[in-house]
Amino acid sequence: MATPEPVQDSSMLEPSRPRVLLAASGSVAAIKFESLCRVFSEWAEVRAVATKSSLHFVDRSSLPSDVILYTDDDEWSSWKKIGDEVLHIELRKWADIMVIAPLSANTLAKIAGGLCDNLLTCVVRAWDYKKPLFVAPAMNTFMWSNPFTGRHIEIVKQLGIAGPAHHEEAGLRGLWERRDG
């Protein structure tokens, strides 16, 4: 008689979920960040990063309980001495995919210029471009039509970041249902 196979934990049979790092910057569209986290959580393991400005729009208490939200404070409070883990490097290693939604004009400009003065931009500056990075710029039409926006979008696309073309203004308006900001 064959020896019975050990019963496998059903959770071991489930395919592992992709790890998505969702990031919000200081566009008024960040009021939708909570919904975004909820939708992604249905099929992915989600961690979140928020810039200081975005916290004016993101209601932290409404985020799904399994989504950890990291801010600039965590970057510094988790590091005490040489040898300690550095949060932006750990997040960059952890994530399979990064999505910055919404992407403010300011953070777009910083990414295009290689600046890294907060947790979000440090993750991007350390990003492994063999892994996908998507951005959803969201800003007032006056900001969007400013010549800087097109230049910055061109640069980030050359880096391998996926996002809308600069002429896709109508699509963006629809995506974020812009009212003001």
Residues at the interface with ligand FMN (CB under 6 A): 25-29, 51, 53-54, 104-107, 138-140, 143, 181
Angstrom distance (rounded) from CA 173 to CA 147 = 18
User: By the 8 A CB rule, do 79 and 54 touch?
Assistant: no
Q: What share of the chain is helix, strand, coil (3-state, %, to 5)?
A: 45, 15, 40
Q: Among residues 63 and 138, whose Cβ is nearest to ligand FMN?
A: 138
Angstrom distance (rounded) from CA 92 to CA 128 = 8
Residue 40 contacts by C-beta under 8 Å, 6 or more apart in sequence? 20, 22, 46, 99
Angstrom distance (rounded) from CA 163 to CA 24 = 15
- Give residue for tokens 């566009």: 27
Q: Among residues 22 and 139, whose Cβ is nearest to ligand FMN?
A: 139
Residue 156 beta carbon to ligand FMN: minimum distance, rounded to whole angstroms: 14
Residue 104 beta carbon to ligand FMN: minimum distance, rounded to whole angstroms: 3
Q: Among residues 25 and 41, whose Cβ is nearest to ligand FMN?
A: 25
Q: Among residues 140 and 175, whose Cβ is nearest to ligand FMN?
A: 140
Judge residue 90's burial from the number of C-beta atoms within 10 Å of its C-beta, 0-12 exposed, 13-18 middle, 19 or more buried.
Answer: middle
Residue 22 beta carbon to ligand FMN: minimum distance, rounded to whole angstroms: 14
Residue 177 beta carbon to ligand FMN: minimum distance, rounded to whole angstroms: 12
Residue 144 beta carbon to ligand FMN: minimum distance, rounded to whole angstroms: 9
Number of C-beta neighbours around residue 32 at 10 A: 20
Structure tokens at 137: 């710029």
Q: Among residues 29 and 95, whose Cβ is nearest to ligand FMN?
A: 29
Residue 80 beta carbon to ligand FMN: minimum distance, rounded to whole angstroms: 25
Q: Among residues 44 and 155, whose Cβ is nearest to ligand FMN?
A: 155
